[in-house]
Chains A and B, each alone.
Chain A
């Protein structure tokens, strides 16, 4: 495609409200309500259901023409009332859409009025302005997490009792399985009940089958825990490319020392988080992790001949991409193209730094805040042998006849997105096995083709994997 200056073709991002929804879905006994027209909530329910394969309920104030002209206050109040009657949530997140923002509805004021009108008691209602014409789903997530922390820690600005806990605040959506892996790591190193992880979608977006449907799936970060975050000893922000607002807030308001770490994808980034945890909690890293790490190195040795030099393109949300970049570099692969869906302050710099650390001579193109059309053009030029990213790369993967390792959000054309394990040593092993076996699969096919028709055999293309072993 030739030069494009105006149109966005095949978007890499979603709008802010869906990020807010993902954050609220990680809070215990919470519902989320979008102030806008009926379609927004329905489309996001669809999008999330396709990925997580779970029922996803998102309320809507169902703004109509009348609401748009005279203000949506009546609709929003009615929606709050009805959600309370039907779902009885203890927390309601209210996010705006572009419609609500454009007509100028002040949701904080409407919520105040709703309380004053006496319908409401002790339920926590959290407004999060998330106009869809600003930023992306990633910023929506960060804003909602910040609003949640602010609301729950409001009141006394001073620490009451030092709880000796560690806050762990995510800045980007990861899979329920990855959250379970994080919890396993924190439980083992920091200790059960010695950390507060926010938001926690490990059960809410991957609820075990019981034979019945809960109005609000159990699980999520507990309210007591979120309120207690202001009394913690330290905070770890997970993700380093974005400005983790909740972490900053906790630091500035409650004087809690903090540290932002990359998502623990691959060997070194997992080493980093374990070292940090050991340092903060003053405990030894349990032997179990040394063993796991040993098995990961074993995995890397098993794979190295097959993966070395393989040209890959990685794309998706910035922190996920940065982590995957690290894993790919550690294994001697060649990240020829690295693309972040949305703009974030630190992505390009961090990615470049990681490349320099591991493979300074690596020829890599780093892009951010682009659409898939631009990405596709870059891919055609870079000619990777493999793609690592979400389902939306399937078109270009098919066009170029290269395998796509599905990773990130959204994955709507394969099962198991909620069970994808990428974090920690275990996640790295799982990921590397997938990558290696995919390469072996391609080689098997190529070899079969080669020996079945020796006369018509054409040397394998640049695109094939035979060069990996040199």
Chain B
């Protein structure tokens, strides 16, 4: 259980959100609250939550109802790929001006919808509301309802006024929009085994490394959501017998709704790292109760693992003993990363999320070893202090954290929108290992903080320059600690399968 004593100096009000994991001490991490004004949170708003969760729907028109900024800053920033249309990479905005704010923006919105329907002939239009729409009282529901009737395609409001809650509320708004589509078309049944892949956004093509694995097992993937999804696939999602939820923060809400409405159960899995990937494949085979499918799954696991292991082992020799900091948007990715790092011989020393819930942090604290710092809704100054205090060699996070890590001479891996290679599936994990290897072992770090003369001070040569690996001399953990870790690991795994 985490120990909530002040780990680093920060605002008093922020102290309960930062804790050190200790074996015996009690305490619970504060989380799931709105950000403190002026604390420089790394979080965005409700709109951003809705936008990241829904935007990958490839053939939809994503129309942002508000002033231009909200559309400008989110134009094609998601990194999601499409095997079909690219409409989602275009930024549409009602570009509200002062007059629209004064007299209301409903008319303009309605005109924009008509115009876009005619010009693009899309299968669906999602209309995102931004802050001021909530203030001036435009009736988004009514405009969308009328438009649907008029133009004959679904025009779906996404209630994502920036200030009305947190990023998590935005996920919910996105799920509510998806609910409008699901079940509106008859699914084509091609296999007796059918699933949906929820909470995968196909960043850099992740889904394309996962879907074939299930198809090899004889499973029909009706849709992924929302990465590489089309409106058509989504409307048939109720044809699945099982929902797999990866990004649980964004999609559990939808999975629960589908369970209730269509009687489709869901399982939380991850396609990242060798262990979690195996668990995912076995979980599905087990669910369908087919021995044949289980045999295929085992074959895939064996063959694929054997295929990539030689290189993983080789990279591992260069990563062994290095320390990692994790700061993610959602908790699911943070959790699976702990295992991934361990598979590469690295130990997590900091772990934090923007939107983790109580249960998430409980899981996290089961999985990390004593002395790890756990943090919710961190800010740059806290992260900088923690990176220094915990002597992290590498940070895995998003763009806002990248340059902060670099300035401190900490290597970095983007596990967010800016990723250009896949990290999921077997090849994805290999990509991840390669990227860590590239960043951690680059010679550039030894120059950080050096001065002219350091590299040529007498006979010392380059030794005069100290790299981060030397700066963060850490004692190797004892055998006892290692065993302890494995035990914790297995306990968590059991808990998960119950959940």
Contact = CB atoms under 8 A, between A and B. Distances in A.
Interface of A: 1-2, 4-11, 13-15, 17-18, 33, 36-40, 42-47, 49-50, 53-65, 67-68, 75-76, 78-83, 85-87, 97-99, 102-103, 131-134, 136, 207, 209-213, 215, 392
Nearest to A16: B69
Interface in B91-114: 91-98, 100-101, 108, 111-112
Contacts of B46: 37, 39
Contacts of A76: 37
11 contacts: A7-B92, A8-B95, A38-B45, A42-B400, A44-B73, A56-B403, A61-B38, A65-B164, A132-B68, A133-B98, A209-B449
B131 A97 contact: yes
Contact of B108 (A6, A60, A83, A136): A6
A57 B41 CA distance: 10
B41 A40 contact: no
Given A59-B38, A61-B38, A86-B40, 19 more contacts: A2-B119, A8-B71, A9-B92, A11-B68, A18-B69, A36-B131, A40-B69, A42-B45, A43-B74, A56-B400, A76-B37, A82-B11, A86-B38, A98-B69, A98-B101, A98-B130, A132-B68, A211-B408, A211-B450
A38 B42 CA distance: 9
User: For B46, B69, B70, which residue has the most chain A Cβ atoms within 10 angstroms?
Assistant: B69
Interface in B126-169: 130-132, 134-136, 162-165
B179 interface: no
B300 interface: no
Contacts, number: 227
B56 to A, nearest CB: 18
A65 B43 CA distance: 17
Interface residues of B, number: 72
Nearest to B448: A211
Contacts of A11: 68, 71-72, 75, 91, 93, 95
Interface in B42-100: 42-48, 63, 66-75, 77, 90-98, 100
Contacts of B490: none
B380 A98 contact: no
Given A43-B48, A76-B37, A99-B135, A5 B72 contact: no
B402 interface: yes
Contacts of B399: 46, 49-50
Contacts of A6: 94, 108, 111-112, 115
Interface in B355-381: 379-381
B370 to A, nearest CB: 27
B185 interface: no
Contacts of A210: 407, 449
A64 B69 contact: no
B189 interface: no
B273 interface: no
B484 interface: no
Interface in B379-438: 379-381, 384, 399-400, 402-404, 406-409
Contacts of B67: 15, 98, 131-133
A36 B132 CA distance: 11
Contact of B69 (A5, A46, A67, A132): A132
A133 B101 contact: yes
B36 interface: yes
Contact of B38 (A1, A2, A8, A33): A33
Contacts of B408: 211-213
User: For B67, B379, B402, which residue has the most chain A Cβ atoms within 10 angstroms?
Assistant: B67
B41 A213 contact: no
Contact of B400 (A13, A49, A62, A67): A49
B43 A42 contact: yes
A7 B449 contact: no
Contact of A209 (B71, B119, B407): B407
B91 A99 contact: no
A38 B41 contact: yes
A57 B449 CA distance: 22
B35 interface: yes
A373 to B, nearest CB: 8
Interface in B160-182: 162-165
Contacts of B403: 49, 53-56
Nearest to A209: B448
B73 A43 contact: yes
B116 interface: yes
B39 interface: yes
Contacts of A99: 131-132, 135, 162-163
Nearest to A5: B115
B66 A98 contact: yes
A460 to B, nearest CB: 29
Nearest to A14: B72
The 9 A-B pairs with the shortest beta carbon distances in the complex, nearest first, are: A211-B449, A39-B45, A15-B69, A82-B38, A79-B38, A43-B73, A79-B37, A8-B95, A37-B163
A317 B83 CA distance: 35
Contact of A46 (B35, B77, B136, B379): B77
Contacts of B42: 42
B34 interface: yes
A452 B108 CA distance: 55
B449 A37 contact: no
Given A80-B38, A82-B36, A10 B380 contact: no
A86 B380 CA distance: 11
A62 B97 contact: no
B40 A57 contact: yes
Nearest to B64: A8
B380 A57 contact: yes
Contacts of A75: 37
A17 B67 CA distance: 12
A11 B71 CA distance: 7
A392 B69 CA distance: 15
Contact of B37 (A15, A61, A215): A61
B132 A45 contact: no
User: For B63, B71, B136, which residue has the most chain A Cβ atoms within 10 angstroms?
Assistant: B71
Given A5-B111, A79-B38, A13 B101 contact: no
Contacts of B44: 38-39, 42-43
A78 B38 contact: yes
Contacts of B63: 7
Interface string B469-487: 0000000000000000000
B407 A60 contact: no
B376 to A, nearest CB: 15
A59 B40 contact: yes
B177 to A, nearest CB: 18
B136 A102 contact: yes
A7 B94 contact: yes
A10 B73 CA distance: 11
A86 B9 CA distance: 10
Given A8-B71, A49-B402, A213 B384 contact: yes
A50 B136 CA distance: 33
A15 B72 CA distance: 8
Given A6-B108, A7-B112, A15-B67, A55 B380 contact: yes
B150 to A, nearest CB: 15
A133 B132 contact: yes
A78 B165 contact: no
Contacts of A209: 406-407, 448-449
A79 to B, nearest CB: 3
Nearest to B466: A211
Contact of A133 (B47, B96, B112, B116): B96
